[in-house]
Amino acid sequence: MRKRKGSLARKKAWYGVLFSVPWFAGFLFLFFIPLMRSLHYSLSTLKLADGGFVTEFEGPANFRKLLLSHPTFNRTLTESVGNMIVNVPVIIIFSLFAAVLLNQKFKGRVWARAIFFLPVILVSSAIADLESNNFVTGVLQSASGEDGQSQFLQSFELERMLLESGMAKAFVEYITGAVDRIYEIISSSGVQILIFLAGLQSVSPALYEAAKIEGATGYEIFWKITFPLMSPLILTNTIYSIIDSFNNNAMSDLISDTAFRTFEFGLSAAMSWMYFLVIILILLVSGWLISRRVFYYD
């Protein structure tokens, strides 16, 4: 940097520019240009040629093909979006619950926390893929008197009880479905638990003490103090969970298969753009819905 007479503020600004140069170069060359190229590819066909590749502009043909005649695209997209919409609320509720539980004082809390964050370390799409058709666990469960993998944590009794108590069928299926997928939910809510836990610890204890002296029960304290103060974090966590669900789902598999198995690069780019637009739409809608109800303390 040139030595020049300037105020500290100006010098700081120059250093700021200097510090952001690597990121900005990365953003430009590894993000923005690829993003524009991918938009270009999605509107054309890509052919590998000698020493490179050539593109032929085709207009929205790829998109038309996806929406009207592709055998699996529509189904996969609705399925993965559907799964996301089903899973995110369960993950949010469970992680808030787990964070409140882990925030209390009890013996062995350090151990319990360590175990709850283990999934953050172990979550891996490669392992998850293998796990889904793991023969050994199935055999072991049937050997020990249970009936197959899914039986490990099934909930027929719960389902029957809830149905007989007169709850709506869709609601019951949602709850029991969540109970059946408990491992999947726990393993994808590690980071969310951490965020809630950090938030819970920043709540001033004076609020709780005042509430207790006024005679509030634990239930009231949760709904009137903890929950409103956690509401900004619910927004953060919802957005994080939605983004996190990209990592490994049927849609991302379909996109990479289309590109690297069947070499239809243009089609794959079009798929990823459709997927991206749907996600942005979901993020905007859910962000708007939640942020209207968020409570800010200061």
Partner 1 sequence: MRTELQALRKYTRRAHPLENVKRWSWIGLRSLLVIGLCFIILYPVLMKISVAFRSQADMYDPTVLWIPKHITLDNFKKAIKTMDYFTAMKNTFLISAGTTLLQAVSCALVAYAFARLRYWGSQFLFLLVIFTIVVPPQTIMIPTYLTYRYFDFFGIARLFGGRGVNLIDTAWPFILSSLLAMGLKNGLYIYIFRQFFRAIPKELEEAAYVDGCGIGKTFFRIILPNAVPAVVTVMLFSFVWQWNDNYYVSLYFNKVKVLSTQLGMITTALHETFGTDPLHVSMIMNTGMLLVMAPLILMYMFAQRYFVESVERTGIVG
Q: Which residues 6+ apart lie within 8 Å of 39 measured at CB? A: 269, 273
Query: Toward partner 1, which CB reaches closer, 115 or 168?
Result: 115
Contact call for residues 189 and 95 (beta carbons, < 8 A): yes
Query: Toward partner 1, which CB reaches closer, 34 or 82?
Result: 34
- Binding residue for partner 1, selected from 66, 87, 234, 265, defined by CB under 8 A: 265
Backbone φ, ψ for residue 47 (5° rounding):
-125, 130
Report the site for partner 1 in 56-95 (rule: CB under 8 A): none
Query: Toward partner 1, which CB reaches closer, 38 or 163?
Result: 38
Bridge partners of 57, per DSSP, are 44
Least Å distance, CB 78 to partner 1, is 17
Token output for 83: 């799964």
What is the rounded CA–CA span in Å between residue 60 and residue 14? 44
- Binding residue for partner 1, selected from 163, 216, 283, 294, defined by CB under 8 A: 283
Report the site for partner 1 in 97-116 (rule: CB under 8 A): 98, 101-102, 104, 106, 110, 112-116
CA distances from 194 to 103, 106, 125, 208, 248 (A): 11, 18, 21, 21, 21
What is the rounded CA–CA span in Å between residue 53 and residue 183? 45
Is residue 207 a contact residue for partner 1 (CB under 8 A)?
A: no
Q: First vs last Cα of the chain: how many Å apart?
A: 41
Contact call for residues 56 and 45 (beta carbons, < 8 A): yes
- Binding residue for partner 1, selected from 64, 75, 78, 276, defined by CB under 8 A: 276
- Binding residue for partner 1, selected from 66, 91, 178, 197, defined by CB under 8 A: 197
Is residue 227 a contact residue for partner 1 (CB under 8 A)?
A: no
Least Å distance, CB 281 to partner 1, is 12
What is the rounded CA–CA span in Å between residue 43 and residue 61? 7
What is the rounded CA–CA span in Å between residue 225 and residue 210? 11
Q: Which stretch binds partner 1 (CB under 8 A): 69-77, 130-138, 157-165, 221-229?
A: 130-138
- Binding residue for partner 1, selected from 44, 77, 273, 290, defined by CB under 8 A: 273
- Binding residue for partner 1, selected from 74, 78, 125, 262, defined by CB under 8 A: 125
What is the rounded CA–CA span in Å between residue 39 and residue 272? 9
Q: Which stretch binds partner 1 (CB under 8 A): 33-41, 61-69, 84-92, 166-174?
A: 33-41
Bridge partners of 52, per DSSP, are 49
Report the site for partner 1 in 136-175 (rule: CB under 8 A): 136-137, 139-140, 143-144, 153
Is residue 177 a contact residue for partner 1 (CB under 8 A)?
A: no
Within 10 Å of residue 14's Cβ, how many Cβ atoms? 14
Q: Which stretch binds partner 1 (CB under 8 A): 48-56, 60-68, 76-84, 156-164?
A: 48-56
Least Å distance, CB 138 to partner 1, is 9
